[in-house]
Amino acid sequence: MQLPRVGQIVTERKERLFSGASEFKCRCVAASPLLVILLYLPSAPMQFPLLDLPPGSMSFGFYWPDRPYNVYAWVRPDATLAGLYCNVATATHFSNNVVTWLDLIIDVLITPAGIPRVLDEDEVPADLNPFLKAAIEAGKRRVLADVPLLLSSVGADAVALFSQWQHETGACTDTDDR
């Protein structure tokens, strides 16, 4: 398995079940066979349910090939954790210049206080393949079970990475809405 190098520009490729794919240019800030972390610098303020990210915020994407989710850890310009946005996902894999994953519709927003909010359950089609439905439900349960671990590890790591990479510019470009 080839991995991206730290500092290298990498493409994050988010594939969707029903509507194509989106790509984002990011900078690799950590890489091992078990975890790749990518830095994404939004070009404009970002708005999500219950959360606004001001200019200067950073998004660190944590991707594991063996977990049924990935996590965007959002850090504000004052180096505080804004929240964790967990995508229920599958088929995460790495190459030397691309991180690819399949979005399984449901997301979980976790506040810094550890309060999870499940999003997009209404977007899961009633007639979806039962095996996919089961995978989505299992991924959601795993995210919810991992909330304390995610806050203590991913949240803390993202704040530490912010300090290392806060002067980074031009690392990423938007090619679609995240």
Does 178 or 92 have the greater pLDDT score? 92
Select from 161, 169, 159 the least CA-distant residue to 78.
159
- The whole-number average pLDDT for the span 138-150 is 98
In the predicted structure, residue 176 carries a pLDDT above the cut 70: no
DSSP state of 174: B
In the predicted structure, residue 168 carries a pLDDT above the cut 80: no
pLDDT tens by residue, 63-98: 999 999 999 999 999 999 999 999 999 999 999 899
Q: Is residue 170 domain-resident?
A: no
**The pLDDT of residue 43:** 80
Q: Is residue 148 domain-resident?
A: yes
First-residue to last-residue Cα distance in the chain: 27
Q: Is residue 3 domain-resident?
A: no
How many CA atoms lie within 13 Å of 62's alpha carbon, on the beta-carbon side? 21
* Domain span holding position 147: 9-165
Give the three-class secondary structure for 39. Answer: strand
Tell me how many domains the chain contains. 1
* Amino acid symbol at 126: A
Q: Is residue 38 domain-resident?
A: yes
The CATH number linked to 31 is: 2.40.380.10
In the predicted structure, residue 106 carries a pLDDT above the cut 90: yes
In the predicted structure, residue 99 carries a pLDDT above the cut 80: yes
**The pLDDT of residue 177:** 46
**The pLDDT of residue 105:** 97
Residue 66 contacts by C-beta under 8 Å, 6 or more apart in sequence? 34
CB-based contact 113:39 (threshold 8 Å): no
How many CA atoms lie within 13 Å of 85's alpha carbon, on the beta-carbon side? 21
How many CA atoms lie within 13 Å of 95's alpha carbon, on the beta-carbon side? 8
* pTM (global) more than 0.95: no
Q: Is residue 177 domain-resident?
A: no
Cα gap 90→67, rounded to integer Å:
8
Q: Is residue 103 domain-resident?
A: yes
Highest mean predicted confidence (pLDDT) among 32-36, 43-47, 160-164 = 32-36
Cα gap 110→148, rounded to integer Å:
10
Q: Is residue 1 domain-resident?
A: no
What average pLDDT does the chain have?
91
Q: Is residue 24 domain-resident?
A: yes
